Amino acid sequence: MRRECLRRGYSERTIETYQDCIQRFLEFSGKSIDKIGKEDALNFLYYLREKEKSGSTINVYHMAIRFLLEDILRKNIRLNIKYSKRAEKLPLVLSKEEVKRLIESISNLKHRLMISLLYGAGLRASELLNLKVKDLEIDKNYGFVRQGKGNKDRLFIIPSSLKQELINLIENEGLNEEDYLFTSNRQEGYSIRSLQEIIKKAVRISKIEKQVHPHTLRHSFATHLVEQGNSISEVQSLLGHSSPETTQIYLHTSSKNLISVRSPLDNLQ
């Protein structure tokens, strides 16, 4: 499974998730891998539903099991069942004022720059931490995410307000083209966990009463772009979404767009 996933260009995170799903499936079935079949797969998926697992979780198990049975074991089995529906929850976003408070509460200049770029460019946490100096075209106000989600490259905007800070960081730390942009004082790369801790501390200091994670800033970036009047296609391109449907959820999180709609009740008066 691992070799086939690597051949198809799946991310390390996806590979580990699939392996974990299959391990749990085999433990549940109690059978050796050459004995499992469609009935075992269906029983396991129904078991997950009885355990009230979320639709997205069941979908991941479904895809992993199909991958094992059909693509790895080459069994002539089709799991012709519908994927579980995901709960339609709107992503949590911060207001512009909350983003400002969050950033200003960070005293460490490098940490502040990291969070500012995370929001200002709409990057995923892994994309921020994997940035190298050579990926930036600071004088042209853009950079490149290399091998992002789905192994796709894409362009991102560099906020004008951060250009000089980025130049200073590169010069002060003597970074070369191949160096990672953000490293700790021990010249080690930051982990997603360390990024989460930076945000957690900033949330506490700024007294923001929301559950804020690195991805919250990406949601906020997209929502604020829509509120500024940018089109869905522009936001889709900057986020690296394959489908415009994925991006359209930010129309619903844009309070400015919704509040500006006039209620028909007001037209009766």
Catalytic residue among 101, 134, 149, 154: 149
Q: Is 218 assigned a catalytic role?
A: yes
Specify whether 241 is catalytic.
yes
Maximum distance among all Cα pairs of the chain, rounded to whole angstroms:
72
47 is catalytic: no
Is 121 in contact with 156 (CB distance < 8 Å)?
A: yes
Catalytic residue among 62, 218, 219, 224: 218
To the query of whether residue 215 is one of the catalytic residues in this protein, the response is yes
Catalytic one of 124, 190, 219, 224: 124
Distance of alpha carbon 196 from alpha carbon 58, whole angstroms:
27
Q: Is 149 a catalytic residue?
A: yes
d(CA 194, CA 128): 13
Distances (CA, A) of 5 to 8, 81, 187, 251: 5, 23, 32, 35
* Element housing 5 (H / E): helix 2-7
Q: Which is catalytic among the residues 18, 61, 119, 250?
A: 250
250 part of the active site: yes
Catalytic one among 110, 134, 215, 252? 215
Q: Is residue 32 exposed (0-12), middle (13-18) or buried (19+ Cβ within 10 Å)?
A: exposed
Which residues are identified as catalytic?
124, 149, 215, 218, 241, 250
